[in-house]
């Protein structure tokens, strides 16, 4: 009978159950969310909101008219960028220095971390770690001053050694042929020790029983490194490599600016110093914004290509 028909229990809407699930997850991990807020705010304020300023690359921007009052010029600044012989020279310098840094500087922290990991005298290991970490905490102004003092043609340590061997002194910072080597070499000295931290953490996660089994099988120290250590840290190396090539054209302003002078800037001037000189000093904001956007697009493209190749070759990547 209609009066005796049981009423089916109503189910809560699907959206309501999902909302409750999300609320429970938030309550469970609320401390982590709260801790992450400063980092999120940092990226929103200093990374994402400034992206709106990229519109200047497509405008003839005037600081008095603002974004809304400045006329749109489309890709005019990008066309102008590749027509300037000066920009092509700057691009060549940036690419060459980036390639040198990738070839010579990137492997150094890996090799240094493996060497530190192989040390058995703990006290000596700790002291050496502290020594190689210390240059990272010095500013590039101090690093530049030290390098200039060491390479001085009159009182520098290097030229004193050359003169003691009967050779002529060399004005390293006054010749174009040396500036790229100086830039890459100073970066290795400053940051290679700090870069070992990530690799040492990866090495600490290797199971010691693997080395014990290898020693029982008669593997020497080199075999243990090549068959156990390097394969174990390879995923970390791949991730760091992808992050490195993402900043391929972003070599750093301070790192170069402290070494530049009129005698070596033809081979040492890079995009960052060019943007400073043309954008801030000469106030060509739209043109240098186009250069900055070009750098970002190239970096994004390199990360995507490198990540795809890495996943196919090693099975690991950034995403």
> What percent of the chain shows pLDDT beyond 90?
37
Q: What are the backbone angles phi and psi of residue 163, rounded to the nearest 5°?
A: -65, -35
Place of tokens 């000066």: 86
**Which uninterrupted H or E stretch holds 120?**
none
Looking at per-residue pLDDT, the higher value among 7 and 35 belongs to 35
Render pLDDT for 258-285 as a digit per residue (tens, 0 to 9). 999 888 989 999 999 999 999 888 889 9
Burial class (CB in 10 A: 0-12, 13-18, 19+), 259: buried
Render pLDDT for 207-258 as a digit per residue (tens, 0 to 9). 888 888 988 888 888 888 888 999 989 889 988 998 888 888 888 899 999 9
Burial code (b: 16+ CB inside 10 Å, e: under 16) for 290-299 equals bbbbbbeebb
Give me 184's structure tokens. 């890459």
CB atoms within 10 A of CB 163: 11
**CA 162 → CA 117, 172, 183, distances in Å?**
35, 12, 21
The answer on pLDDT for 300 being more than 60 is: yes
Question: What confidence score (pLDDT) does residue 175 get?
Answer: 85
Render pLDDT for 117-133 as a digit per residue (tens, 0 to 9). 888 888 888 899 899 99
What is the DSSP-derived secondary structure letter of residue 168? Answer: P
How far, in Å, CA of 269 to CA of 251, rounded?
11
């Amino acid at each position: 009978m209609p009066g005796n028909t049981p009423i089916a229990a109503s189910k809560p809407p699907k959206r309501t159950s999902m909302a409750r699930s999300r609320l429970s997850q938030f309550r469970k991990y609320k401390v982590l969310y709260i801790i992450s807020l400063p980092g999120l705010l940092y990226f929103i304020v200093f990374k994402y909101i400034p992206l709106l300023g990229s519109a200047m690359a497509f405008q003839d921007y005037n600081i008095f008219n603002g974004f809304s009052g400045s006329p749109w010029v489309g890709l005019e600044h990008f066309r102008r960028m590749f027509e300037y012989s000066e920009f092509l020279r700057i691009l060549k310098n940036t690419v060459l220095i980036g390639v040198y840094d990738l070839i010579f500087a990137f492997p150094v922290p890996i090799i240094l971390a493996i060497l530190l990991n192989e040390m058995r005298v703990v006290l000596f290991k700790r002291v050496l770690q502290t020594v190689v970490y210390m240059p990272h905490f010095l500013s590039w102004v101090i690093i530049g001053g030290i390098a200039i003092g060491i390479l001085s043609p009159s009182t520098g340590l290097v030229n004193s050694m050359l003169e003691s061997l009967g050779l002529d002194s060399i004005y390293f910072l006054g010749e174009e042929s040396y500036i790229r080597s100086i830039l890459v070499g100073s970066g290795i000295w400053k940051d290679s020790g700090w870069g070992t931290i990530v690799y040492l953490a990866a090495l600490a996660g290797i199971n010691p029983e693997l080395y014990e089994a290898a020693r029982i099988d008669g593997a020497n120290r080199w075999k243990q490194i090549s068959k156990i250590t390097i394969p174990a840290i390879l995923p970390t190396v791949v991730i760091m490599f992808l992050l490195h090539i993402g900043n391929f054209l972003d070599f750093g302003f301070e790192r170069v600016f402290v070494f530049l002078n009129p005698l070596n800037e033809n081979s040492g001037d890079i995009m960052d110093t060019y943007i400073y000189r043309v954008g801030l000093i000469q106030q060509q904001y739209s043109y240098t914004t186009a250069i900055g956007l070009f750098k970002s697009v190239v970096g994004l493209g390199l990360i995507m290509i490198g990540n795809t190749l890495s996943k196919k070759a090693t099975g690991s990547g950034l995403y």
